[in-house]
Amino acid sequence: MTDVPLAAAHAVDRYLVEMLVGSDAALDAAVAHQRAGGLPDIEVAPTSGKLLWLLARICGARRVLEIGTLGGYSTIWLARGIPDGGRVVTIEAEPRHAEVARTSIDRAGVGERVDIRVGRGADVLPTLVDEEPFDLVFIDADKESNTLYLDWAARLGRAGTLVVVDNVVRAGRVADDADDSTQVAGVRAGLRMLRDDPRFTATALQTLDAKGWDGIALALVV
């Protein structure tokens, strides 16, 4: 197999973004606000943001759970993918990130649809048990907790809920036996759970985009 020329892959990503995703002021402002606030530069790529929007539309999602708000970039995409009266509940452990996200989400005009819960997923998720089930769950937080988040995704979802897990490839480290980082261990444990836990059926795709080489898992709660 020939090596993938990285510069060409990045050029393709720019081409696809220009061709099919485009840009708009609210999303550009969210990224700029996040950068200005010194938040990590790890929001999803534009192609993945639009994928989240499409998945919400395809599922007919009204209730979305996001674990890991960061600056609200993916939250805005998800909120745009649900109808009026729908809700994105998004959990963020870092109060400063939640503040930055709140501003960007409100500026994007979807503030009424977005409920930011500040706290660790492990503490916030159990408070959601009495709410209506979520139709789509996006897991994009500390990778060490992926199995905990998947367990809650199944508990807070229903048969037919779509679960998306970000960062399952980590520049190939997921399949590198020499990698013994806690993050990669968390990613692998999540993938094993998607294989072994009868509540899920799943696949995963590699991505090579503005954020480098990574991937997403897609799972159905059965």
Binding residues (CB under 6 A) for ligand DHB: these are 42, 140, 166-167
Residue with smaller CB distance to ligand DHB, 86 or 141: 141
CA–CA gap between residue 116 and residue 118 (Å, rounded): 6
Residue with smaller CB distance to Mg ion, 71 or 81: 71
Per-residue x/- track, 150-189, Mg ion (CB under 5 A): ----------------xx----------------------
Q: Which does 69 bind (CB under 5 to 8 A by kind): Mg ion, ligand DHB, none?
A: none
Kindly state whether residue 66 participates in binding Mg ion, applying the rule CB under 5 A: no
Residue with smaller CB distance to Mg ion, 108 or 139: 139
Among 66, 135, 140, 209, binds Mg ion (CB under 5 A): 140
Long-range contacts of 7-13, Cβ-Cβ distance < 8 Å, separation of 24 or more:
9/208, 10/210, 13/45, 13/47, 13/208, 13/209, 13/210
Using only C-alpha atoms, the chain has a radius of gyration, in whole angstroms, of 17
Extract the runs of DSSP E, i.e. beta strands, from the chain.
63-67, 87-92, 114-118, 136-139, 162-166, 200-209, 212-221
Residue with smaller CB distance to ligand DHB, 62 or 147: 147
Q: Which does 135 bind (CB under 5 to 8 A by kind): ligand DHB, Mg ion, none?
A: none
The neighbour count for residue 159, using CB atoms within 10 Å, is 9
